[in-house]
Each structure stands twice: as C-alpha cells, then as structure tokens.
Chains A and B, each alone.
Chain A
Amino acid sequence: MKPRQQRMLAVGLAALGIAIAAGLTLRAFQDNMMFFVEVSDVAAGEYPKERNFRIGGLVVGGSVQRQEGSIDVRFEVTDTACTIPVIYSGVLPDLFREGQGVVAHGRMGGDNVFQADKILAKHDEEYMAPEVADSLSKHQKDIVKATVAGAAECGSNDS
C-alpha cells in the first residue's frame, strides 16, 4: 500500500472505532439516566418501576426515626402537598436536618417505601437544588389554592 492509502485506512479505522464507541456510550447513557420525580407523582404511583430515580423535598419535622444502635434510618420527605417514607442505611450528610431540603437516590420498594442508596443534603445555607426548589414552589402555590378551596390534601392538585 502507498503511504496515502495507509493513512486513509488508518483514518477510516479510527473513525469506525470512534463511531462504535460513541454508539456504545450513548446506549449506556440511557441506562444511567436518573429521573427526578416529584414526591406528589411518586405518591400517585407515577414513577419509573424497577429502576433508580431521584426524589427531593423537605425532611418532615419529627419524622426521623432510628433503631437503637443501628445505622438504619427512616424519615419522611414532603413537597408540602404529599409525603412519602424513605429508608436509608448509612451515614447521613452533615447538612441533613429536619425541615431542610434533601435529595435521595434510590428506588421504590414493594411496601411503598422509598429505599435510598444515597442521600444528598444542601451544600451551603443559600443553596437548594433547583429541582427541589421548583417542586416546592409549585406545590406551595397549589396548597394556597387548595386551602382557599378547603381541600388541602395529597392528590388534589392533579388538575
């Protein structure tokens, strides 16, 4: 082969390799996408089954329960309209507190308890994950509406 042909071959092979790699990575992409699902949607049963997703909201005051001497913890997360129970086994982040914002990664268990494998709390005083802030403000508005109408309960905001 002439050098020129050799070079064309090399470039062709490289392009093919990159195309295959790109294809594989994009496939892996779909498996690793994690959706953020609002607590109200989770409570209504609208969440990805059999795979991980994220939820976020406020930790309900007084809801954090521990078993004596165990690292298992159970608490409730709310978007101010609906509330779902979460269990987690491990060390909680420093800024995890009742009444504060939290994001949890995990999946729904059969008993309608969210089994978290990772808990993130906000990083500094001013910062709240944008998706949590969105979700809260949306439902807070709903609550105001619902309160006026006299029906402030979970599930009434799907209009």
Chain B
Amino acid sequence: MIPEIGQFALILALSLAIFQTVFPLVGAHRNNAAMMDVGRTAATGQFVFVAIAFVCLTYAFLTDDFSVLYVANHSQLALPTLYKVSAVWGAHEGSLLLWIFLLAAWTLAVARFSSGLPEAFAARVIGVLGFLSIGFLLFALLTSNPFARLVPAAVDGGDLNPLLQDPGLAIHPPLLYVGYVGFSVAFAFAIAAMISGDLDQRWAKWTRPWTTVAWLFLTLGIALGSWWAYYELGWGGWWFWDAVENASFMPWLIGTALIHSLAVTEKRGLFKSWTLLLAITAFSLSLLGTFLVRSGIIVSVHAFATDPTRGFFILTFLAVVVVGALVLYAWRAPSLDSDAGFGLLSRETFLLLNNVLLVVATALVLIGTLAPLVIEMASGGKISIGPPWFNIAFLVPTIPLVVLLGLGMHTAWRSQDKSAWLRTIRLPAITALVLGVVIPLLIYGRISILLFVGCAAAVWIVVLALILPIRSLFREKGTAGITRSALGMSVAHLGMGLFVIGVTVVSAFGVESDRALRPGETIEVAGYEFEMRELRNVQGPNFSAIEAEIEIRRDGDFVATLRPQKRQYLVQKNWMTEASIRAGLDKDLFVALGDQLGSNGGWSVRIQYKPLIRFIWLGALVMALGGLIAITDRRYRSKVRKTAAVDGAAAEATA
C-alpha cells in the first residue's frame, strides 16, 4: 500500500511539474499575473508530493518491506538503521529519487525567496525548473521506478553494498547532489534572463548567492567523497581521476569559473554572455556526469550496472537541454555585451584569466574522461588514460592559476595603480620564495622544482589571502571593516592555499608500501616501526571480522595502536577491508589488511605514511566556509540593508 502511495505521489508530482512549467512561462509571456502565480503554488505542491514519495521509500526501507524490488536488492534485516536510511540513495533508482527531491527543494526555496525579483522573471525561473523536474520525473517513472514490486516478496534482502555501509558515504551523495542540482538554479536564471532578453547587473546579484550555495555543497560533497575513497576503498589515495570523480569535478571547475565571472558581471556589467554560457555549461556538465555514471558506458570503479535505456533517456534529455539552451544563447547573447573598458592591470583582467584557465582545466579533464569513448568509437581500440596524464595535464593550467589568484585579490576594479600594487605584493612574494625552499628542505629534507613551486604557491596564496582580514582587524576605529563578501573570498582562497600545500607535500613525501607481516614481527616504513601484536576474531552486527592489533613506534617511542579489520559481511559474503588510520594534522599513518599469506599466520598489509593529507580536506572545508561567509553579505538581503543603512546614518549622527 505505502509503495503505491509513493508511486502515485510521483505521478501527481509530474502533473504538477507540468503546471509549474506551462503556466508561469505562458503567463510571463502574456504578462498575466494570475497564470504566473500558478508557478509558486505548483512548485510547493510538487515538493510536497515528491517528499511524500521520498518518505514512502524511506518507510519501506525502515520496515524491511522486501516486496519492493529496490528494497529487497539493497537492504537486509540486520542492516543498522542509519544504513537503512542511507540505502534509500544507495543505488540508481533511489539516488534518482533523491535528485528529484532536491530539485523540488531548490525550486521551493527559489519560489519562497524570490519575492524581491520582478514577477515575470521569477515566474520564468520557476517554469524552467519545472521543465527540468518533468525530465527527471519522467526518467524515474519510465525507466527507474523505485517502487516496483517483487512478487513473491523476498524473505530477506540482498543487503546494501558493504562499501556503502559507512557514515561518510551515507551523506556523500546528498551533499554532492545538492551541489549538482543547485546548478540547475543558475541555469534557470540564465534561461529566464535569455527568454526575457533583459540581463542587467541585478541579474548577477540575484544569481550569485544561489550559485555560491550550490558550489559550496559541491565542494563539500567532492571532499567527502575523496575522504571516503581514502579510508574506505583501502587504496589510500585521495583522488584517482576516475570517470565518476571527474564527472563531479568538471561542474565544480566550471562552477568556480562561474562564481568569478558573476563577480565581474555584478560589479562591472561585463562578461555577460560569457557568464550565461558558464551557467549553461555548469548544469550541462552535471547532466553529463549523471549520464556517464548512470549509463555505465565508461569504465569506472564507481559505475553502476549498465542499462542502455537509462543512458539513452539521459542522453536525450541532455541533448534537449543543451541544444535548447545554446540555441537560445545564440539568439540572445549577441545583444547583451557591454563595451565598458578596463585597464590591463585590473581585477577584470585577472578574473578573465581565472576563467580562461579554469575552462582549459575543465576541457583537459573532459578530454581525458571522454577520450577512451571517442577512440573506441573511432578505431575500436580500448584504451584508458592513466592518472599520470591527468596529474601532468592538470598542473599546466593550475600553476598559473594559483599564482594569478594571489595577485587578483589585491588588484582594483577598472584600473590599478602599479606602484601601490607592487608594494602590496612585494613582501608576500619574498616570503613565498623563501618558504618555498625552506619548507621542503628543512622539514622534509628534499627539494625539487615541483616541490618549490607547490610550496611557494601555497604560501603565496595563504599570505595574500590573510592581508585583507588582518588589515581589517587592525584598522583604525570608525573606519569601515572588511565586507562579508571580501572576507568570504579571502577565506575561500586561504582554503585553496591549504589545499595546495597538502597536495604538494603528500604527493612528494607520501609513502605506500605493501608488506608481509605476521604476529610478533616488526617492519619499518618511512621511519616508523610497525609491530603486529596479535590477530583476533571480532563480531559486528552484520559482519564477522579478523582484526589485527598493530603498534606503531618511532625510535622505540610509542606512537599509536591501530586495529585494521578484514570484514566478511554475512549476506553478500564479500570480504571488505576496513583500514585503520592514526589521523593527525601533520601526517596520517594508515594500515590496511590485505590477504592471509599461507599457513604461518602472516598477512599482506598495506602501510602508508601520508604527511599533510588532512590539509587537502581541510582546505576544501575552508573553501566551502568562505562561500558560506560570502553569501551572508548584506547586499543579498535587501530588506536588512535598508535598516542597516538607517542604523549607519544614526551612528554617524551620534558620532
């Protein structure tokens, strides 16, 4: 009964989505307020019904309703409750439902918080979002119904893939999807502006906070996925240039470019058509990512089971959305550009370069990801592109990017006075050059060109990012402090600096070693002694495991005891490695059990020493925090601004 309600709710949501698309778009065209109003109501209704469907599926998981095929395939009686909830989005059908739910939630948020927008514009935005909802609801109902029944019902389920039974992965997809789906809002704003043919600086101001929110969730989602791959897959790397990782990374890169381009459009009214193109591209890449993951056409460790009909549907939808958007763009964009000029040494120039380099980086990732497909279609040869290529190719645009990033922060709009500029950057430049040598040489005892470049770039960014906040902290009383916008930018760039130092150090000095180890034996890796004290059997709720106790010492002094496990899940009978990590800001020590080696009690173990690896995820967190600070800027809250202005005037009057 409950699953049928869920399915029915999805069908109702689809019909409401149709209302939500047709009425506001036609209403805006005819300037009919009553028709435009339907959009908000329908969007609210659509959200309610999608939420009902989502709750129904969750309920089916919590009550172990194995008469639902999807539940029977991806849950099990003994599965802990947390994972019964996260199993809802643990596979294709449910993750699609989550996507739809988040799209409806974003739409609802737009409908609620768009009262400051011109009525026709808001109506068009909601209409475009409704169109996207129709696409995804049809996708779910036609190819991937999560409520399909299993007759007769299973006695017990097939269990959730053990890899997904992890708190990190329970929240990774929702975060990532909030980001992915969030770019649909920027997309809808772009389409709405192109339909009306009216794109001014206010448009950029409205679009910016939505884009930043989507971007910050995508940042968190990607970072969490990277962290999960690090400790759960047992390989100890933090990024593999896997097709599915790339699928989430490309929208991030373009989203980052979009945020910067929006800044120029908002402040200076420039780059309008370029900004529109980026908004279209960011969302198209999100769709492309979904296509790559869902269709299984790309070889990936993450890929879901292959299903050509799903791939075909998504590809068609992608074509409709992209071609439609680009045709509209070709028609409207030429009339948009402004001819306001800017000097060579100006923030506009740096943001332009930022955009060019980010787009080049995205293009490289796209080429590397799609090349195997293209070459197979062209010549039939089956190839793969290894991480070494991505590592080299990606550095080409990103090294200039991080250097220019530091400069751009301290360059004024329009035109910057050169001597003042040189004065600001001189000290940070010297600091960076010196520390670029000192950090690798004194702390880690080795240096190379790449190490110098990485460390110097990181120091360069960190120092330059701190200048504005520190100046604001020590400013004279009564003068204006840093705006939230500028603080957000500084913090996000600081995060970038932390990320760069983490990547540089861990790539150069990380140690990975596969060794044989038996109880009582000690081996040395990266200056640490690893002694296996004992092996024992332990029992979990839905698995049994072999656990090793490994003591780590340095020069005889105790450092930590790690307890890596090899788990066997009772239903799927899969063996799973559960690595044990001694995490620290300065370094991680990582031990994972491999296989039993013959009869002498020995095991193969993977031991890793990962200096500063935490800075990678810390950097991403700080970047997201920067985004969060930026969206709290006053100018995004028009009502609040008025009162603040009154307060300001009152303060001046008393002073």
B605 partner residues in chain A, CB cutoff 8 A: 91
B606 partner residues in chain A, CB cutoff 8 A: 90-91
Known: A10-B344, A25-B393, A71-B594. A35 touches B381 (CB 8 A): yes
Query: CB of B50 within 8 A of chain A?
Result: no
Contact of B598 among A25, A36, A68, A123 (CB under 8 A): A68
A95 partner residues in chain B, CB cutoff 8 A: 574-575
Contact of B595 among A28, A67, A91 (CB under 8 A): A91
Query: CB of B420 within 8 A of chain A?
Result: no
A96-155 residues with Cβ-Cβ distance < 8 A to B are 120, 123-127, 129-131
Q: How large is the interface on B (under 10, 10 to 19, 20 to 34, 35 or more residues)?
A: 35 or more
Interface of B is mostly: mixed
Task: Assess whether A123 is in contact with B163, with CB atoms less than 8 Å apart.
Answer: yes
Interface 1/0s, chain A 11-46, versus B by CB < 8 A? 000100110010011001101111110000000000
A68-109 residues with Cβ-Cβ distance < 8 A to B are 68-71, 89-92, 94-95
How many chain-A residues does the 8 Å CB contact rule pick out? Answer: 40
Contact of B392 among A18, A25, A90, A124 (CB under 8 A): A25
Task: Assess whether B385 is in contact with A29, with CB atoms less than 8 Å apart.
Answer: yes
Query: CB of B197 within 8 A of chain A?
Result: no
Contact of A14 among B161, B353, B515 (CB under 8 A): B353
Query: CB of B45 within 8 A of chain A?
Result: no
Interface 1/0s, chain B 477-495, versus A by CB < 8 A? 0000000000000000000
Task: Assess whether A126 is in contact with B305, with CB atoms less than 8 Å apart.
Answer: yes
- Cβ of A88 to closest chain B Cβ, rounded Å: 10
Known: A94-B234, A127-B303. A34 touches B384 (CB 8 A): yes
Interface 1/0s, chain B 228-255, versus A by CB < 8 A? 0000001000000000000000000000
- Cβ of B502 to closest chain A Cβ, rounded Å: 24
Task: Assess whether A29 is in contact with B576, with CB atoms less than 8 Å apart.
Answer: no
Which residue of chain B is the closest to A120 with respect to CB atoms? B301
- Cα distance A63–B360 in the bound complex, in angstroms: 47
Which residue of chain B is the closest to A121 with respect to CB atoms? B301
B381 partner residues in chain A, CB cutoff 8 A: 35-36
- Cβ of B463 to closest chain A Cβ, rounded Å: 26
- Cβ of A117 to closest chain B Cβ, rounded Å: 11
Known: A18-B360, A21-B396. A94 touches B303 (CB 8 A): no
Task: Assess whether A131 is in contact with B382, with CB atoms less than 8 Å apart.
Answer: yes
A130 partner residues in chain B, CB cutoff 8 A: 296-297, 299, 306
Which residue of chain B is the closest to A91 with respect to CB atoms? B594
Which residue of chain A is the closest to B606 with respect to CB atoms? A91
Query: CB of B516 within 8 A of chain A?
Result: yes
- Cα distance A46–B303 in the bound complex, in angstroms: 30
- Cα distance A25–B384 in the bound complex, in angstroms: 16
A25 partner residues in chain B, CB cutoff 8 A: 364, 389, 392-393, 396
B371 partner residues in chain A, CB cutoff 8 A: 29, 33
Task: Assess whether A123 is in contact with B574, with CB atoms less than 8 Å apart.
Answer: no
Interface 1/0s, chain B 567-597, versus A by CB < 8 A? 0000010111100000000000000101101
Contact of B389 among A6, A21, A28 (CB under 8 A): A28
Among B382, B392, B518, residue most surrounded by chain A Cβ atoms (within 10 Å): B382
- Cβ of A8 to closest chain B Cβ, rounded Å: 10
9 smallest beta-carbon distances between A and B, as pairs: A91-B594, A32-B389, A36-B382, A90-B514, A126-B305, A68-B598, A25-B393, A71-B604, A21-B396
A-B contact pairs, 26 of them (CB 8 A): A3-B343, A18-B360, A21-B397, A25-B393, A29-B385, A31-B389, A32-B385, A32-B389, A33-B375, A33-B383, A35-B382, A54-B384, A66-B597, A66-B598, A68-B597, A69-B597, A70-B516, A70-B597, A71-B515, A91-B594, A91-B606, A92-B604, A94-B575, A123-B163, A125-B161, A130-B306
- Residues in A lying within 8 Å of B, measured CB to CB: 3, 6-7, 10, 14, 17-18, 21, 24-25, 28-29, 31-36, 54, 66-71, 89-92, 94-95, 120, 123-127, 129-131
- Residues in B lying within 8 Å of A, measured CB to CB: 161, 163, 234, 296-297, 299, 301-306, 341, 343-344, 349, 353, 356, 360, 364, 367-368, 371, 375, 381-386, 388-389, 392-393, 396-397, 400, 514-516, 518, 572, 574-577, 592, 594-595, 597-600, 602, 604-606
